[in-house]
Structure formats: C-alpha cells, structure tokens
Amino acid sequence: MSRRALTLLVAGFLVLALGITGAVINVPYVVLRPGPTENTIGEVDKKPVISIDGRKTYPTSGMLSLVTVSYQGGPAARPDLLTALRGWVDPTSAVVPEDSIFPRTQTAEEVEQENTAEMTNSQDNATAAALTEMKIHYTMVPTVLSVEKSAPASGKLKPADEIRAVDGSAVSTVEEVSAAVKARKPGDEIAFSVSRNGQEESVTVKAAASKQGTAMVGIVMQAKYKFPFKVTINVGDVGGPSAGMMFALGIIDKLTPGQITGGKAIAGTGTITPEGKVGAIGGIAQKMVGARDAGATVFLTPADNCAEAMKAAPDGLRLVKADTLHGAVQALDAIRTGKGEVPACTAG
C-alpha cells in the first residue's frame, strides 16, 4: 500500500472515530435557536391570543408578534458533541453553558415551573401596564403567596389571604405590608386584617427576628390585581417574562380605535413592569432571526439590549429602541403616520 493510500486510510479512520465519539459523548451545554413567534393581536389554535371581556374592543390589523427562543439540551437531555459543534458554527444559534439556563440548585422541572409562573406574572404586569398607559384605573391587593414552615405566620396566615390592613392601617402594596412589619420590633404582636375566601378576618402574629435583626413573620407576598374588566391571554406552552411589552401593546391595540401597527408586521421583546418600564431579555440574536423569518420589518428592542442587537440584526429588520411602553406606543405612532421621531438603537 502506498504512503498516500495509507495516509488517506488512517485519516478516514480518525474522522470516523471522531464522528462516533462526537455522536455518543454528551456535553453540558444548551443550544439556543430561533423559536416560534405569535401575533398577539391574532390567533393561536383558532383562539384569540388576547381576549377582552367587559370592555369595548376594536378591529386590528397587521402583526404585533412576540418572539421566543427554543433550546436543545438540559440536565436530562444533554446534546452530543457534534450537535454542540454545529450550533457553534451556525450564526443563528448560540451554545451556552448548561447552568446558565438550568441552575445547579434547580431541577429542569423547577425551571419549567418558574418559566410558567414568570409568564403568568408577565401577563398580569402587561395588563396593568396597558391600563396605566391608557389611564384606566385598577387596584392591587397584597396577597400571601406562601408561608414559611415554622415561621411565626405558619398556621395563622394562609396562601391566597388578601392583606387589607396592618395594625389598623390600610395597605395596598406588597411594599407597604413589608414596611409596616419592619417598623415593629421582634417579639411585637402584629395585627393583620385579611380577606380569606371572601370573609374578613383578623389575625395576630408575633414577629420574630430576621437575619438582619428586623421584625419578620415569614410570608412571601405578591400583588394581586383587580382589573375593571377581564383580559385573557392564550399562548400555549410559551414561558418566561420576555413577552410582556408585546402583550401590553396588543391589549392597547384592541382597546383603542384604529390600528397601532398601521398594518405593518411589527415584532419585539422585553419584560414589562406595571408602571410600563421595559426590561432587558436574553437570546436577542435568536429572537431577531425568528422575527425576520416571520416577516417582521420592525423590531422593538429593549434599550439595554440595543448594543448587542445591533451586532446581530438580520438584514431588513429595523431596530427601534423601547425603554418604556409609552415610548414604544409613540414610536409606533411615528412609524404609522410618518410624523415624529422614531428612536433607533445605537451602539452606545
């Protein structure tokens, strides 16, 4: 056998061995790819993504699409080495360490549950932000989410209790309840007025000392919104908080005459607070690719993601900076009418 033939044979065996090794060795990475998009003013599974009952709505057109990232991998289904290598060379994908998606302190199931909870909170925050933008009044009630075992409140306060007052003073936010408790001293008895299953009750809890030495009763709270009409959001198994801004825009579009999109295909991403502040998200590069593939020409981008987005924006996608819901609405008005300034992403 000639030296050239022997070299080719050895090289072939090495390539085969590397291929087999790469196909059977799993690596602790997650491959991120562009995920599906959903038009928030459209339908999914023949049902409206956003349904509003108890308030007049108006016809809409165009697209206000939320964008997602799909992933392959996780502690229970790690990708093989070849899959990871393909992800590294694919410009539309990203390969990240497994624990950046699945913290070592959480199981995959716990991460999924957290994503589902974040999506639910995102929908509530989006409704609150939309109503805030439209100056429609709503209220919030601090509500007990959970009670720590062996804490002073255990057996006294219960999940779903709506806290109306602390020591006789009315409260309307989680922060007010927390401040009222911390204003007391460990060992003090604190009186809570709560609504439980529609019944008003008084509960007294003896405060203990926190690690910081302040008074605590051992409850986790969340704000429960009381809206003047019902908003239902249907997005299937999409999780996480990053669709908040697009939900809020969809709600506004349905509640106001005319079309906020001007008939254009708009996509975007960003978390939202009840006050309308837009927050940064992850996977911006993959989300932009998904948006462009779905036909979007304008992409609403959280201000804190602009620098990263500019480095990976696909051709034909206009990046519009959005740091608040109000700013996003104004930008869409300017795009639709051709009047006014449209804030663009910058590298700074």
Annotated catalytic residue 195:
no
Q: Helix, strand, coil: what percent of the chain each, to 5?
A: 35, 30, 35
β-bridge mates for residue 205, sequence order: 190
The active-site residue, picked from 242, 254, 264, 321, is 242
DSSP conformation class of 8: H
Q: Which residue blocks in 60-171 are alpha helix, DSSP H?
A: 81-89, 108-133
Return d(Cα 1, Cα 157) in angstroms, integer: 84
Q: Let me know if 242 is a catalytic residue.
A: yes
Nearest to 229 by CA among 136, 96, 312: 136
Single out the residue of 216, 102, 228, 106 nearest to residue 154, CA to CA: 216
Among candidate residues 65, 54, 40, the one with its CA nearest the CA of residue 297: 65
The active-site residue out of 156, 264, 287, 321 is 287
What's the CA gap between 11 and 3, in Å, rounded? 12
**315: phi > 0 → left, psi -120 to 50 → alpha, else beta; which?**
beta
- Tell me the H-state helices in 134-262: 174-182, 244-255
In single-letter form, the type of residue at position 77 comes to A
How far apart CA 222 and CA 213 sit, in angstroms, is 23
234 alpha-carbon distance from chain centroid: 15
Q: 97: part of which helix (H) or strand (E)?
A: strand 94-97
Residues noted as catalytic: 242, 287
